[in-house]
Structure 1
Amino acid sequence: MAACSLLFRLLLVLLTFSDLPAQILGLGVGINYGQIANNLPSPSRVAYLLRSLNISRVKLYDADPNVLVAFSNTNVDFIIGLGNEYLQNMTDPVKAQNWVLQRVQPHLPQTRITCITVGNEVFKSNDTQLWSNLLPAMQTVYRTLVDLGLDKQVTVTTAHSLDILGVSYPPSAGAFRQDLGEYLHAILNFHAQVKSPFLINAYPYFAYKYNPNEVPIDYVLFQPNQGTVDSITNLKYDNMLYAQVDAVYSAIKAMGHTDIEVRVSETGWPSKGDENEVGATPENAGLYNGNLLKRIEQKQGTPAKPNVPIDIYVFALFNENLKDGPTSERNYGLYYPDGTPVYNIGVQGYLPELVFSSDSTKNALSVFSLLILVIAYLISA
């Protein structure tokens, strides 16, 4: 009986440790899974990594079938993307239907595709034809989903850069750029009609990078600071991200809508940059993302929307070595491609290391074999 009792306690310990990651995590954070690299782990390994992190929301920039198949039956919710180069084609109902039939429908319901982003940061370009194609493309994709009976499980939106704001401070005075007024007003009407969220890519890092002497580093990193007070509403802000989100809410309200949710489809901090990229360090990246995860875990809302937990997708899962632009563009990842963390996120258990090496695998097998021997001995005793 003593041996059986010891065996039971041993098994209980093992089961407890096997469940530990899920107990520690449980965050509502999403992750951007970019793939502009030639050295990333396979999608099946990525699926394992995200399961170990208990992350169940992923945003892609395309509709890569290899990823969608690898995540089948994993209960991970996916946002998939249609690149800007597809917008003109997506205004054609036949081409839109073909894309949905080939890229979306075959993966449902085994892979949980919940949203399609039609275009990304379209208004960051100077291509007014692209601007004009955005809403018709969104409408055509949505109508295709309706025709196929998929509109209740898959919604349609697009992601915007904060460049769409003409006024961002104070947050209550937020307003869109005048040259985008007619486009954004029509897009907001679409969101209200189909009940889809308004997505923004918000990076306090950029504000600090361009004005390091004026923007307090603690304010952008969610560190303790004096904060700022909105002179119109008297609401206090202790971080820039929440101020940016509320500025977008104000801009939307100025166009007559209070029924549209703002979500952050990208935010993050680079761990490395060029000489002129002030603040791009592993320490700052760890503080930004670590403190952000704590806020998400607390289900915080912004000062203007305290009862609406802010919905955030962190950018990005991996460093991407083939991205264009300054060094920072290739160093936003939480992980190196070999599965090791780029920096300590600052909260125990949130980001356990994914180990690919054969030596580590052998060590794990040796420990498991030892446990089997102990259990066998206890049973025979």
Structure 2
Amino acid sequence: MESSSSSSSSSLLLRVMIFWMTISGQMQYIFAVSFGINYGQIANDLPSPARVARLLQSLNVNRVKLYDADPNVLSAFTNSNVEFIIGIGNENVQNMMDSSKAVAWLQQNVQPYISQTKIICITVGNEVLSGNDTVLMSNLLPAMQSVYEALQSLGLDKQVTVSTAHSFFILGNSFPPSAGSFQQDLIPYIQPILNFHSQTNSPFLINAYPFFAYKADPGSISLAYVLFQPNAGSTDPNTNLTYDNMLYAQIDSVYAAIKAVGFTDIDVRISETGWPSQGDSDEPGATLENAEVYNGNLLRRIAMNQGTPMKPSVPINVYVFALFNENMKPGPTSERNYGLFYPNGTPVYNVGLQEGYLSIYSSSPKSMVMSEVNFIVLIVIATLLQALSMLI
């Protein structure tokens, strides 16, 4: 049994450590939430994958979505228990229709890593059906089927699913949610894809951005409604279900659209959602404050294991966009400012995530020195108190 003097010393040690961490700025609020994040790399100033791996583990991020199958990233996350979605780009969809090329792609990009890095899903193409390339649209399902058959031939189909990420704009109607429907001209493409998902038990991935809806019509759409803030909400007249935020309404409109074409056994997941911290003059709502509120409130909803009004027992499955600001992305200013973090590892804003390890990613030597000094001081204090307890 521990002596009272030893207990007193231990208690004193704990108080001193807490005091030192507090005054040195190292005591951070840890947001206990497990969520997914998109790791885009259209930038020339990003940290190495090894540093990103340490950053994400310190933030308790256990799901990552890539837009390719970067071997440096997959190697950096060896034995990390992080689950990966990896991607086959639109430019490679046609090649994947060839079974031998699909097998070769898996042998190069999946087999060498899957024993130590958890690859759980492969996306074939990105937002293909919202584009204008009808050849690519026609090739999408055959390519998905070919990749799945290649997984089967390699004995990997029980570990890895096959999907594709869609833009929310494939919906022709999304309000009220119960009346959600796909664009009529896309149904010949979507219905067979949904049949594939049903047969292979793979998720339907959708990129949903309430920001785009607000940007298009800020005069009619409540900012509080899109930011998960207190508001009057919106009631679906067909179901009497009340929605207090747009993202949940969008998710349920996708479920309704899927049901309208004959499927009720497909899981809808949000492969992208986020809010830009900066935008052009014609991008209302693209502010740092709104980005902080949107993503912070979203993470709180995820932590609560909430489901949508239509699927209350199914917690939302979300991949936040994005990990870093990406300075080489084309398009409006907002496209380069969706990141939760700057490339040097410092947060763009505070959404309650653990930040205790971020200083080691900073480009500032001073930050690293201070972190080391804090650690050394704690060791000295602990050693002195241990010696003191032995003398008492």
Q: Could you say which TM-score interval applies, normalised by the shorter chain?
A: over 0.9
Change (3 A) 1:137 1:10: farther
Residue in 1 that maps onto 2:358: 354
Change (3 A) 1:10 1:361: farther
Residue in 1 that maps onto 2:317: 311
Alpha-carbon offset, residue 248 of structure 1: 0.6
Please tell me whether the aligned partners of residues 34 and 60 of structure 2 are also in contact (alpha carbons under 8 angstroms): no
Please tell me whether the aligned partners of residues 269 and 317 of structure 2 are also in contact (alpha carbons under 8 angstroms): yes
Counterpart-to-counterpart distance in 1, 2:65 and 2:373: 37
SS in 2 for 1:78: strand
Please tell me whether the aligned partners of residues 72 and 110 of structure 1 are also in contact (alpha carbons under 8 angstroms): yes
Does 1:95 find its partner at 2:101? yes
Change (3 A) 1:379 1:177: closer
Counterpart-to-counterpart distance in 2, 1:186 and 1:362: 58
Residue in 2 that maps onto 1:223: 229
Please tell me whether the aligned partners of residues 275 and 338 of structure 2 are also in contact (alpha carbons under 8 angstroms): yes
Alpha-carbon offset, residue 352 of structure 1: 4.9
Counterpart-to-counterpart distance in 1, 2:56 and 2:90: 28
* 1:6-85 matched pairs, under 5 angstroms: 8-9=10-11, 24-85=30-91
SS in 2 for 1:182: helix
Partner letter of residue 332 of structure 1?
Answer: Y
Please tell me whether the aligned partners of residues 53 and 352 of structure 1 are also in contact (alpha carbons under 8 angstroms): no
Does 1:210 find its partner at 2:216? yes
Q: Structure 2: where are the runs of 5+ without partners? A: none
Q: Calculate the TM-score normalised by the size of structure 1.
A: 0.94
Alpha-carbon offset, residue 210 of structure 1: 0.8
Please tell me whether the aligned partners of residues 22 and 54 of structure 1 are also in contact (alpha carbons under 8 angstroms): no
Counterpart-to-counterpart distance in 2, 1:199 and 1:145: 20
Counterpart-to-counterpart distance in 1, 2:335 and 2:186: 27
Partner letter of residue 54 of structure 2?
Answer: Y
Counterpart-to-counterpart distance in 2, 1:85 and 1:10: 62
Does 1:369 find its partner at 2:376? yes
Alpha-carbon offset, residue 52 of structure 1: 1.1
* 1:327-338 matched pairs, under 5 angstroms: 327-338=333-344
Alpha-carbon offset, residue 371 of structure 1: 2.6
Change (3 A) 1:54 1:23: farther
Residue in 2 that maps onto 1:106: 112
Please tell me whether the aligned partners of residues 3 and 378 of structure 1 are also in contact (alpha carbons under 8 angstroms): no
Counterpart-to-counterpart distance in 1, 2:312 and 2:107: 40
Change (3 A) 1:200 1:209: same
Change (3 A) 1:285 1:235: same
Counterpart-to-counterpart distance in 2, 1:322 and 1:10: 51
Please tell me whether the aligned partners of residues 38 and 66 of structure 2 are also in contact (alpha carbons under 8 angstroms): yes
SS in 2 for 1:260: coil
Does 1:297 find its partner at 2:266? no
Alpha-carbon offset, residue 22 of structure 1: 12
Q: Calculate the TM-score normalised by the size of structure 2.
A: 0.91
Counterpart-to-counterpart distance in 1, 2:324 and 2:356: 14
Please tell me whether the aligned partners of residues 62 and 82 of structure 2 are also in contact (alpha carbons under 8 angstroms): yes
Q: Structure 1: where are the runs of 5+ without partners? A: none
Counterpart-to-counterpart distance in 1, 2:227 and 2:31: 22
Please tell me whether the aligned partners of residues 93 and 143 of structure 2 are also in contact (alpha carbons under 8 angstroms): yes
Please tell me whether the aligned partners of residues 270 and 332 of structure 1 are also in contact (alpha carbons under 8 angstroms): yes
Change (3 A) 1:290 1:380: closer
Counterpart-to-counterpart distance in 1, 2:126 and 2:327: 20
Counterpart-to-counterpart distance in 1, 2:93 and 2:12: 58
Please tell me whether the aligned partners of residues 7 and 375 of structure 1 are also in contact (alpha carbons under 8 angstroms): no
**1:36-55 deviations in whole A, cap 9, x for unaligned?**
00000111111111111111
Does 1:275 find its partner at 2:281? yes
**1:106-139 deviations in whole A, cap 9, x for unaligned?**
0011001010001000012110000011000000
Please tell me whether the aligned partners of residues 3 and 379 of structure 1 are also in contact (alpha carbons under 8 angstroms): no
Counterpart-to-counterpart distance in 2, 1:361 and 1:269: 30
**1:261-320 deviations in whole A, cap 9, x for unaligned?**
100000000000011011100000011001111111111111111111110000000000
Change (3 A) 1:97 1:21: farther
Percent identical pairs in the alignment equals 62
Alpha-carbon offset, residue 378 of structure 1: 3.7
SS in 2 for 1:106: coil
Alpha-carbon offset, residue 191 of structure 1: 0.1
SS in 2 for 1:372: helix
Change (3 A) 1:10 1:158: farther
Counterpart-to-counterpart distance in 1, 2:28 and 2:113: 26
Counterpart-to-counterpart distance in 1, 2:163 and 2:222: 33
Partner letter of residue 295 of structure 1?
Answer: R
Change (3 A) 1:359 1:25: same
Residue in 1 that maps onto 2:267: 261
Please tell me whether the aligned partners of residues 71 and 109 of structure 2 are also in contact (alpha carbons under 8 angstroms): yes
Partner letter of residue 354 of structure 1?
Answer: L
Residue in 1 that maps onto 2:153: 147
Partner letter of residue 366 of structure 2?
Answer: D
* 1:233-252 matched pairs, under 5 angstroms: 233-252=239-258
